[in-house]
Amino acid sequence: MPARAWPRLAPACSVDPGDPNPVQPERGPSGLEKAASVAWATPVTPLSPSPPWDAPGKRAKSMALGLEVSGLELSVPRAPQPGPARGLFTCSLLLVSPGEEVACLPLTPTDQVFLGPGPTGLAYSSRAKYPAIKALMRPDPNLKWAVLGLVLAQLLACWLVRELAWRWLLFWAYAFGGCVNHSLTLAIHDISHNTAFGTAFASRNRWFAIFANLPVGVPYAASFKKYHVDHHRYLGGDGLDKYHVDHHRYLGGDGLDVDVPTRLEGWLFCTPARKLLWLVLQPFFYSLRPLCVHPKAITRMEVLNTLVQLAVDLTIFALWGIKPVAYLLASSLLGLGLHPISGHFVAEHYMFTKGHETYSYYGPLNWITFNVGYHMEHHDFPSIPGCNLPLVRKIAPEYYDHLPQYHSWVKVLWDFVFKDSLGPYARVKRVCKLAQDGL
């Protein structure tokens, strides 16, 4: 079978730039932004050589993320800065699926560029309609104890496998250690949102994530935190001037969201056998991709994470030999590779249904994965810990129950491998650039 070219999705609609109050098309998994945008809709400001569309002072206040246009770019001002010069933030959207390129601008309901409203739009309406949701934005009191239990379980397993035959060591690394280590990586994900001790104790959360990292075998927690912030700021981001990244909290942006596979991955892993290999090698792609597409300076916390991890690995080796260390590493590689829990890597943002970018999973594996399956709810409210995400759906079922959803991660992996319409290329990618100041 010939290699599949990197595709695009054909435009679904266009907006007349002369219409002062354009009708916002439905966007994303729910289309709720369309309904919610009525209160915010005002004219947008496209980059165009003729007035009044490029007139200074225009403010884009539409919250209709996914406004599709034809033949022009749109702009939204950056956060207010001292002085008369204010740069313009421009963006286009590439839907990585068969078809053509789509021009698109995610917009926000204020003059400043804030974190996007999530996939359903509930984040903007919840304050007035569902005040109970705010009460869910609190630390998880049980998270620290669950993580402690998982870490101790893996240390006990290290002692038990020290004289085990290699074939049985690998079996238990997949069947037990893979589940525990994958669960710990998802605990680190939850902790990266300060859900263990709250935002007032950010340092405690960072150190606790390093503690949860110990059975993984390789330093991971500090780097994950650094890049995961960009995943929420620039979901699908692929093309923003890196020197302005930290000044714009925005959905869009080349290599900003390192969760998105590279073009080489999309081109190479396009047959069932190759996609299966891609899933097996997922731990390597997931850890090495950030270094290739969006390298960042090494932080002090990453150095400390590495030193602590090496100290623990060497201690285990000195006490019990090489097999426990091999068990921990095998648990991570096998558990994050072709494993039922790894279905969440694919289920979260790969476009199984055209026009839907983010999906939730409501199956039983949420019990051992800190409810990472509630991914729509998580992107709507990143500060809500995993233990409370099911309550979000219970409080506002009309925002989630009608959306495409999964109940089996194994089926997700099966469809990903054997459906021609799916592969590493089946992701939404947003390309952003910062226009010159003074435009």
Least reliable range by pLDDT among 40-54, 244-258, 342-356: 40-54
* pLDDT band per the 50, 70, 90 thresholds, residue 235: confident
Count CB atoms within 10 A of the CB of residue 1: 9
Q: For 270-316, what is each residue's pLDDT tens digit?
A: 999 999 999 999 999 988 998 888 889 999 999 999 999 999 999 99
Confidence at residue 84, expressed as pLDDT on a 0 to 100 scale: 29
Residue 352 forms beta bridges with which residues? none
Q: Calculate what percentage of the chain has a pLDDT beyond 90.
A: 52
Cα distances (angstroms) measured from residue 224 to each of 105, 213, 304: 28, 11, 14
* Per-domain residue ranges of the chain: 122-237+248-435
16, 18, 17, 15: which is closest to 26 by C-alpha? 15
Confidence at residue 118, expressed as pLDDT on a 0 to 100 scale: 66
Confidence at residue 332, expressed as pLDDT on a 0 to 100 scale: 97
Confidence at residue 127, expressed as pLDDT on a 0 to 100 scale: 58
Cβ 158 vs Cβ 324: under 8 Å: yes
Q: Please check the confidence at residue 394 and state whether its pLDDT lies above 90.
A: yes
Confidence at residue 357, expressed as pLDDT on a 0 to 100 scale: 87
Q: Return the DSSP state at 24.
A: P
Tokens in use for 342?
């790894």
* pLDDT band per the 50, 70, 90 thresholds, residue 212: very high
Which has more pLDDT, 61 or 262? 262
Angle, helices 143-160 vs 178-191, to 10°: value is 150
Tokens in use for 368?
């051992």
Query: Distance of alpha carbon 127 from its chain centroid, rounded?
Result: 24
Residue type, 215: P
Which has more pLDDT, 360 or 96? 360
Confidence at residue 28, expressed as pLDDT on a 0 to 100 scale: 34
Confidence at residue 387, expressed as pLDDT on a 0 to 100 scale: 96
Confidence at residue 293, expressed as pLDDT on a 0 to 100 scale: 85
Confidence at residue 78, expressed as pLDDT on a 0 to 100 scale: 31
Q: Please check the confidence at residue 218 and state whether its pLDDT lies above 60.
A: yes
Cα distances (angstroms) measured from residue 300 to each of 224, 248, 292, 305, 314: 14, 24, 21, 9, 21
Q: Please check the confidence at residue 215 and state whether its pLDDT lies above 60.
A: yes
Which has more pLDDT, 433 or 222? 222
Confidence at residue 126, expressed as pLDDT on a 0 to 100 scale: 61
**Helices within 4-142 (DSSP H only):** 32-36, 122-129
Confidence at residue 155, expressed as pLDDT on a 0 to 100 scale: 97
Query: Does the reported pTM lie above 0.85?
Result: no
Q: Rounded to the nearest 5 degrees, what angle is found at the Cα of 137, between the Cα atoms of 62 and 228?
A: 70
Cβ 213 vs Cβ 219: under 8 Å: yes
Q: Please check the confidence at residue 103 and state whether its pLDDT lies above 50.
A: no
Confidence at residue 72, expressed as pLDDT on a 0 to 100 scale: 25
Confidence at residue 231, expressed as pLDDT on a 0 to 100 scale: 82
Mean pLDDT score of the chain: 73
* pLDDT band per the 50, 70, 90 thresholds, residue 435: very low
* pLDDT band per the 50, 70, 90 thresholds, residue 144: very high
Q: Please check the confidence at residue 156 and state whether its pLDDT lies above 90.
A: yes
* pLDDT band per the 50, 70, 90 thresholds, residue 405: very high
What's the rounded Cα separation, in Å, for the pair 271 and 275?
6
Instruction: Using the structure block, give the residue that is written with the tokens 């354009």.
Output: 22
Question: What is the average pLDDT across 401-419?
Answer: 95
Question: What is the average pLDDT across 363-388?
Answer: 95
Confidence at residue 102, expressed as pLDDT on a 0 to 100 scale: 28
Question: What is the average pLDDT across 207-215?
Answer: 97
Least reliable range by pLDDT among 76-90, 265-279, 378-392: 76-90
* pLDDT band per the 50, 70, 90 thresholds, residue 229: confident
